[in-house]
Amino acid sequence: MVFALVGLVVLALLGAVHRYVWRRFVGDTTAPGSRLRRAGTVAAFVLPLLSVGAMTSGRVGAPFWLQQVLAWPGFLWLACLLYLTLALLVGEVVRPVLLRVLARRDAARTGAENGTASGTPAETSGTPTEVPDETRPRTEKLVTTGSTGVSAPPEAVARTASDAPDPVAEPETEPAATASAPAGTTPAPALVPQPSRRLFVSRVVGGAAAAAGLATVGYGAYGVLRGPSVRRITVPLAKLPRAAHGFRIAVVSDIHIGPILGRAHTRRIVDTINATSPDLVAVVGDLVDGSVADLGSAAEPLAALRARHGSYFVTGNHEYFSGAEQWVDHVRELGLVPLENARVEIEGFDLAGVNDIAGETEGQGPDFGRALGDRDRGRAAVLMAHQPVVIHDAVEHGVDLQLSGHTHGGQLWPGNYLAELANPTVAGLERYGDTQLFVSRGAGAWGPPVRVGAPSDITVVELASRQA
C-alpha cells in the first residue's frame, strides 16, 4: 500500500513537471496547430514513456536488446528533464526582469517618436509616457511597410494588440482602413505582424534554458563515457606495522555494467586500475545491473586485473537485483576473490568483507561476527562494505578503515544533498571514533549515464604506518 502511494505521488510529480516543461518550451513559444507544437506535444508523451520503460524493462524480464533500446533515450531524458527544469526555474526569475526592461525601452522609443512627429521633444511634453500593461495577452506589434514611411495610427496598434486572443495567433487585418481612404490620398501602408514582447521573451528564455540544460547533460555524459579518473589518498593506521607502510589498495565501486555501460566500459576501468600498479584491488559492490546471461561477457575484462595480493569483491545492493549468487560464482571464475562475510590475512593487516544489507531479504545479509568476531584485534583491520551506513557496526568490531561506495557522490547535482540525508558520508574520508570511513564516488553511473558535480573515480588508498 505504501509503495503504491509513493508510486502515485512520483507519477503525479513527473506529470506536473512534464506539463510545466511542455508549457514553457512548446506552449509559450509555438503557434497552435503548427508542426513545432505538434512535434513538441508528441515528445512530451513519448519521452516519459521511454523513461518508464528504461526503468522497468530489466525488472520485468524484457529481452536484453529491448533494454538497450530503451535505456539510452529513456535514461538520458531523465537527466535532461532535471536540468531543463532547473534552467527554466532560473528563467522564471529572469523573465519578469527582461519584460520590464523591454517595456521601458519600447516606452522610451515611443515617446521619442511622438515627440519628433509633433515637433516637441518628448521629455518636455509634460505628459508621462504610459508603459504598456504586459499582464494582458499580446499577439504582436504591428509595423508599417512601404515607401512612404507613414506609420499606422497608435490607436490601431493598441487595438490590435489588446484584441488578440492567443499569444501566438495570426492577427486580424483591417481591410476597411484602405477601402475607405479618401480619393487622391496615399493608401495606408500594410500592417506586418511581429512577435509580441511576451512571445519574444518566452523564446529567448526557453532557448537559453534549453542550451544550458542540454549542455550540462552533454558534458556530464562525456565524463562518464570517457572513464573514471584516478585519485590518491594516504590513510594512516595506528596498528599498521612498518613493513606494510605504503601498501596501495585500488578502490573501485559502482561500475554498473549494464544496458548502457558494457564491455568497453569495463575494459577502460581495468586498464586504469592496472596502470596504477596496486598491491590489491577492492571492488566494493554494484558491479552489474543485469543477469550473468546478459552481462557475463561484458564483465570478462575483469579477469585482466593485476595486483600483487589479488583482487577482492563484495556484493552491493544491485547484485541482489541481478542474481547475487550467480554473480559471486562468475567473478570467482574471473579470478576475483568474493568475501562473503569472510576475512583474509594480508601482509600487515586483516582484510574483511561483508555482504550488502540488501541481501537480508534473501537471508544473505551482513554478518560482522562471522567476518570479524574471532580475529586478533592487535592487527589492523580493513573492511570492504558496499554501503556507508554500516559504519557503526564497523566501529563496534574495531575496524580501522572501512571502504565503501553506493552513494555515487550524489551523481547528479543537487542529488548530493539527498544522498547526505541517507548516508553518514557521501564521498571522501571521514573519521567515526577510532574507525576511518572512505566512500568512493564510483566508476560508473546508474540510470542516466551522466554525472554532474560528482565525477567518477578510482581511488588508490595508500596505507601509512605511524611507526615508519
Q: What DSSP string runs through 170-185?
A: PPPP-THHHHTPPTTS
Q: Could you tell me if 408 and 220 are in contact, meaning their C-beta atoms sit under 8 angstroms apart? A: no
pLDDT tops 90 at residue 89: yes
Beta strands at 349-353 and 140-144: parallel, antiparallel or unpaired: unpaired
pLDDT of residue 118: 61
- Nearest-angstrom CA–CA distance, 139 and 199: 8
pLDDT tops 70 at residue 374: yes
Poorest-pLDDT segment among 171-175, 200-204, 428-432: 171-175
- Nearest-angstrom CA–CA distance, 441 and 415: 13
Please, which pLDDT band fits residue 185 given cuts at 50, 70 and 90?
low
Greater pLDDT, 351 or 363: 351
pLDDT of residue 153: 44
Q: Is 192 helix (H, G, I), strand (E, B) or coil?
A: strand
pLDDT tops 70 at residue 449: yes
pLDDT of residue 142: 44
* Percentage, residues of the chain above pLDDT 70: 82
pLDDT of residue 230: 97
pLDDT of residue 136: 42
pLDDT of residue 98: 92
Helices (H) and strands (E) in the chain, counts: 13, 14
pLDDT, mean over the chain: 86
Greater pLDDT, 164 or 186: 186
Q: Could you tell me if 397 and 373 are in contact, meaning their C-beta atoms sit under 8 angstroms apart? A: yes
Q: What is the mean pLDDT of residues 163-177?
A: 42
Greater pLDDT, 132 or 400: 400
Please, which pLDDT band fits residue 114 given cuts at 50, 70 and 90?
confident
Please name which of 403, 173, 380 lies closest in space to residue 284, comparing C-alpha atoms. Answer: 403
- Nearest-angstrom CA–CA distance, 28 and 206: 9
- What are the angstrom distances between the C-alpha of 307 and each of 37, 63, 299, 304, 312? 58, 36, 18, 10, 10
- Nearest-angstrom CA–CA distance, 47 and 53: 10
Please, which pLDDT band fits residue 119 given cuts at 50, 70 and 90?
low
- Nearest-angstrom CA–CA distance, 212 and 51: 21
Which residues lie below 8 Å from residue 70, measured CB to CB, with a gap of 6+? 50, 53, 54, 57, 62, 259
User: Angle 2-22/64-118 helices, nearest 10 degrees?
Assistant: 40
Please, which pLDDT band fits residue 177 given cuts at 50, 70 and 90?
very low
Please name which of 318, 240, 315 lies closest in space to residue 279, comparing C-alpha atoms. Answer: 240
* Percentage, residues of the chain above pLDDT 90: 73
DSSP string, 29-56: TS-TT-HHHHHHHHHHHHHHHHHHHHHH
User: What are the pLDDT digits (tens) for 190-247?
Assistant: 554 556 889 999 999 999 999 999 999 999 999 999 999 999 999 999 999 999 999 9
Greater pLDDT, 345 or 11: 345
- Look at the chain and count its residues: 468
Cell numbers 487595438 correspond to 159
pLDDT tops 70 at residue 173: no
Cell numbers 596505507 correspond to 463
